[in-house]
Amino acid sequence: MQRSQRNTLLAIIVLSGLALSPLAISHYDDKEPAQSYRQSWFAMMAANFGPMAAMVKGDIPWEENQMAAYADQLAALVTLDVMRGFADGSDKGTTRAKPEIWENKADFKAKMDDLTTAVNALQAVANQGTDRKAIAEGVGATGKACKACHDDYKSKDYLY
C-alpha cells in the first residue's frame, strides 16, 4: 500500500472512530432538525452564561467589558424563536427534553418568557458596568430561570 493511501485509511479509521464515539453527538442532525435547533441554541446560551457565572463566583477575573458583551449575546439569543425547536412531533430522538413539555406547553413557554425577562434585565445592568452586586444578582436571577425549567422539563440523561 502507498504511504498516502495508508495515511488516508488511517484518517478514515480515526474519523469513523470519533463518529461512533458516544461523546461525539452531533449538534446538527438533518433527521432531527428541531432537536438540533434547540440544543444548539442552549449550547450557545451556556457558552455565554457560563463565563458570566464563573466571573461572579470568582473562578475567572471579572472583566466589565466581557460581562456586558456576554449579556448582549444572551439578549440577542433570546430574540430567536426557540419554541420553533419544540415543534409538535419533536418529543423524541436524541434529546433530554421531557415529554411533559408537550403536555404543558403554556407553562413551558411561560418559563421561557421568564428567562427572556431575566436576560433583558441582566443586559441592562451589565451595560451600566459598575454595580457588581446588581450584576451578580442579575446573573443569579438568570441562573434561577434556567434551573426552574430544567428541574421540570430537562432530563439528566438522553431519553431515547
Instruction: Tell me: does residue 115 bind ligand HEC (CB under 6 A).
Output: yes
**Max CA separation in the chain (angstroms):** 66
For the chain, what's the residue count?
Answer: 160
Closer residue to ligand HEC (CB): 12 or 43: 43
Q: Is 153 in the site for ligand HEC (CB under 6 A)?
A: yes
Query: Is the CB of residue 138 less than 8 Å from the CB of residue 120?
Result: no
Pattern 131-150, ligand HEC, x by CB under 6 A: -----------x--xx--xx
- Closest by Cα among 1, 152, 128 to 67: 128
CB of 40 to ligand HEC, least distance (A): 8
Judge contact between 138 and 118, C-beta under 8 A.
yes
Sign for the CA dihedral angle at 17, 23, 26, 29 comes to positive
Residue 35 makes contact with ligand HEC by CB under 6 A: yes
CB 55, min distance to ligand HEC, A? 15
Rounded to an integer, what is the distance from CA 152 to the centroid of its chain? Answer: 16
Based on the shown chain and the rule CB under 6 A, indicate whether residue 77 belongs to the binding site for ligand HEC. no
Residue 110 is placed in which grid cell?
Answer: 411561560
Q: Which of 37, 39, 52, 125 binds ligand HEC (CB under 6 A)?
A: 39
- Check binding of 76 to ligand HEC (CB under 6 A): no
Nearest to 63, CA basis, from 129, 140, 142, 150: 129
* 56 contributes a contact to ligand HEC by CB under 6 A: no
User: Which chain residues interact with ligand HEC by CB under 6 A?
Assistant: 35, 38-39, 42-43, 45-46, 49, 95-97, 108, 111-112, 115, 142, 145-146, 149-150, 153-154
